[in-house]
Amino acid sequence: MADTTSTNGGGDPMTGLAHSEAHYFNSYNHHGIHEEMLKDEVRTKSYRDAIYNNRHIFKDKVVLDVGCGTSILSMFAVKAGAKHVIGVDMSTIIVKAKEIVAANGMSDKITLLQGKMEEVTLPFPEVDIIISEWMGYFLLYESMLDTVLWARDRYLRKDGQGLIFPDKATIFMAGIEDGEYKDEKIGFWDNVYGFDYTPLKRTALTEPLVDTVDLKAVVTDPCAVLTLDLYTVTTADLAFSLPFNLPIRRTDYIHALIAWFDIEFSACHKPVRFSTGPHTRYTHWKQTVFYLADVLTVEAGESVSGQLGCRPNSGNRRDLDIKIDYRTETGDVHRKAEGHCEYKMC
Amino acid sequence: MADTTSTNGGGDPMTGLAHSEAHYFNSYNHHGIHEEMLKDEVRTKSYRDAIYNNRHIFKDKVVLDVGCGTSILSMFAVKAGAKHVIGVDMSTIIVKAKEIVAANGMSDKITLLQGKMEEVTLPFPEVDIIISEWMGYFLLYESMLDTVLWARDRYLRKDGQGLIFPDKATIFMAGIEDGEYKDEKIGFWDNVYGFDYTPLKRTALTEPLVDTVDLKAVVTDPCAVLTLDLYTVTTADLAFSLPFNLPIRRTDYIHALIAWFDIEFSACHKPVRFSTGPHTRYTHWKQTVFYLADVLTVEAGESVSGQLGCRPNSGNRRDLDIKIDYRTETGDVHRKAEGHCEYKMC
């Protein structure tokens, strides 16, 4: 018999499906990333709402979709009345996107170009609106923001009437109690079938973990650390070091700091927003977990403050070097703690 | 508040962990594949038992570990009394493996070589035992079996006393009822936020899905299709077309055929075996699901028979071309069905 009580084995007790939904995106799957993004309803419906509910903005406009993937955003824009949409993507998914656009009778409204944004030739000298779903894990990891900013500077109309969907992104942090899982992820390496695997423990501690965090694990208030305004931000701004302060909500331990981001389409008649935080619905971005070398012992009313630093790795700009300095703000000398952790997303 | 009733959101109700265990291996994680394999206890403990319970076999032997990864099997062999172990792996994981072997005081017993098996120079002209965890999804996808067979022919002692751990692999098939999930995986593409995504539906139908299948979904008896004896099998045998017959266990529908494999260490004093089928504990290989273009309507006592063909793609030997011919064996002319499906794992 199948071990149906196992976390991993058997079907999903909540959905009753033969397969475990939860394992879904683990699967070997050629177009898996596009399937995952499309099925991320928080993401896709936010874009849909931002576009469909603002037909007065899209009507007769020329739109550029940066990193168009399967062209879902391009088709939303056509449905919202755009005069023409140009979709650009480096990936061979563009071949499928062309078939999809044709299947939906929009080939005359959407021009799809495979190549680097910086290298393709657009059929219009400038565009009225840029739409893009460019966000990566931790907002910035393997993100296409650089490309969006390049497209903004090169193609967005220069009269101040050009719009970017979305146009605002904010990184938040919080502290979590996570002893059991930290033990499983980090402590595991202390004894692997009787062997000392601590060389991999050191690596594990420097790797942020992208995973879903239960709201109940959150011990602090959130803190907005960085807000990017896509009309004004430059590539240089993506290397930063900024302070954070996390008020402690309850007496507990802190094993990790987490980060997530919120996205806003503020050009909408009524702004559309979504969050990738632990307090709201699952998105494929989940949250990013930074385990601390120490366990912090904190009490309600105190706080953890520090500095979050992030910059592209000098050797490989796709990798992120992240630094976190932290200290507990407490009057209890026995619980004072401070530290400095370095992480790499690569 | 977190939507804790969602399949994806929030913590895992079964483990009470802050993170959902189920999302665990989705995560961005540099050494994720090695962590996943080590934490696959069915896999790792089977190797451990096969080695530890047969110290009389390993005592004073020279052992070759093909694709050694973090060197866990090499260390098992040393603990079982091997005179010397040579671990070979192409990946940079070998750097970490050397640190791990040193941390466990086995550097004089284990020689680790980074490179292709065919290109590295071994410190021994022949070996007594080859150990390897070479199996991929569907046994053969991205497997290292070719390399193991090359190592066998080149290095395993020629007097017939050489051993291979494991030495037997069998591919099984069965039929499953999977209407709901097939609709979610395949039917999804019919209408994606109001758009016709059938170009991706065609792709989805030709891609086997690697996923966990609930035993309750299995409608037929299993059928062993292919058994590989690692002492005698050749690379040419890995392109095959073989018959299967699946007796129907209950009156139901069949939406997909599935495949899995069993592994045996028959050189053990008492043979050690494990299965990756739907009837037993989760392994990271899960099962492989082949959706049929048709739905088969079957009754207990009938059967589905056909032919399973598999060969490396002529353009890219790492890809697998898989063909399934099937027909329902029934006296009811209205339920007779037959078909031919082609799949590609790439």
Q: Where are the domains of chain B?
A: 19-133, 169-345
- Which tokens belong to B192? 């994606």
Its ipTM equals 0.89
Cα A86 to Cα A97: distance, rounded to the nearest angstrom:
12
| Average pLDDT value for residue range B139-152 | 96
Q: HSE (CB half, 13 Å, CA atoms) of A270? A: 4
- Which tokens belong to A330? 């407490």
Report the gap between the CA of B52 and the closest CA in chain A (Å): 12
pLDDT at B317: 85
pLDDT at B269: 87
Of B83, B79, B71, give the one whose Cα is nearest residue B50.
Answer: B79
Q: Indicate yes or no: CB of B30 within 8 angstroms of CB of A289.
A: no
In the predicted structure, residue B13 carries a pLDDT above the cut 70 = no
pLDDT at A30: 63
Q: What is the mean pLDDT of chain A?
A: 91
pLDDT tens by residue, A198-231: 999 988 899 999 999 999 999 999 999 999 999 9
Q: What is the mean pLDDT of chain B?
A: 91
**Nearest residue on chain A to B185, judged by CA atoms?**
A35
Task: Name every chain B residue with its beta carbon within 8 A of the beta carbon of A99.
Answer: 199
pLDDT tens by residue, B265-315: 999 989 999 999 999 999 999 999 999 988 999 999 999 999 999 999 998
Instruction: State pTM to two decimals.
Output: 0.88
Is residue A119 among the annotated active site residues?
no
pLDDT at B29: 52
Q: A50 CB contacts (<8 Å, ≥6 apart)?
A: A165, A166, A265, A268, A272
Superfamily of domain A169-345: Hnrnp arginine n-methyltransferase1 (2.70.160.11)
Q: Indicate yes or no: CB of A196 within 8 angstroms of CB of B75.
A: no
By the 10 Å C-beta count (0-12 exposed, 13-18 middle, 19+ buried), B56 is classed as exposed
The single residue of B21, B41, B99, B142 carrying the catalytic annotation is B142
Name the more confident of B23 and A230: A230
pLDDT at B1: 27
Cα A327 to Cα A254: distance, rounded to the nearest angstrom:
12
- Do A61 and A83 contact (CB within 8 A), yes or no? yes
pLDDT at A317: 85
**Nearest residue on chain B to A279, judged by CA atoms?**
B2
Task: Name every chain A residue with its beta carbon within 8 A of the beta carbon of B8.
Answer: 21-22, 212, 282
Report the gap between the CA of B243 and the closest CA in chain A (Å): 26
Q: Which of B3, B21, B28, B196 is best to mutate for the A interface (most A CBs within 10 A)?
A: B28
Q: Indicate yes or no: CB of A16 within 8 angstroms of CB of B180.
A: yes
Is residue A142 among the annotated active site residues?
yes
**Nearest residue on chain A to B18, judged by CA atoms?**
A214
pLDDT at B24: 35
Cα A60 to Cα A84: distance, rounded to the nearest angstrom:
8
pLDDT tens by residue, B184-193: 899 999 999 9
In the predicted structure, residue B26 carries a pLDDT above the cut 50 = no
pLDDT at A29: 52
pLDDT at B6: 29
pLDDT tens by residue, A240-255: 999 999 999 999 999 9
Q: Indicate yes or no: CB of B20 within 8 angstroms of CB of A22.
A: yes
Cα A112 to Cα A93: distance, rounded to the nearest angstrom:
11
Cα A229 to Cα B77: distance, rounded to the nearest angstrom:
58
**Confidence band for B33, pLDDT divided at 50, 70 and 90:** confident
Determine the angle formed by the axes of helices A72-79 and A93-103, rounding to 10 degrees. 30
Q: A298 CB contacts (<8 Å, ≥6 apart)?
A: A175, A219, A248, A251, A252, A253, A254, A304, A328, A330, A335
In the predicted structure, residue B31 carries a pLDDT above the cut 80 = no
Of B39, B106, B103, B98, give the one whose Cα is nearest residue B70.
Answer: B98
**Topology (CATH level 3) of domain A19-133:** Rossmann fold (3.40.50)
In the predicted structure, residue A3 carries a pLDDT above the cut 50 = no
Q: Indicate yes or no: CB of B96 within 8 angstroms of CB of A27.
A: no
Q: Indicate yes or no: CB of B19 within 8 angstroms of CB of A195.
A: no
Task: Name every chain B residue with its beta carbon within 8 A of the beta carbon of A281.
Answer: 3, 6, 9
pLDDT tens by residue, B323-340: 999 999 999 999 999 999
pLDDT at A293: 85
- Do B300 and B306 contact (CB within 8 A), yes or no? no
In the predicted structure, residue A62 carries a pLDDT above the cut 50 = yes
**Nearest residue on chain B to A319, judged by CA atoms?**
B30
- Which tokens belong to B183? 């609709």
Task: Name every chain A residue with its beta carbon within 8 A of the beta carbon of B76.
Answer: 193
Task: Name every chain B residue with its beta carbon within 8 A of the beta carbon of A137.
Answer: 28
**Confidence band for B136, pLDDT divided at 50, 70 and 90:** very high
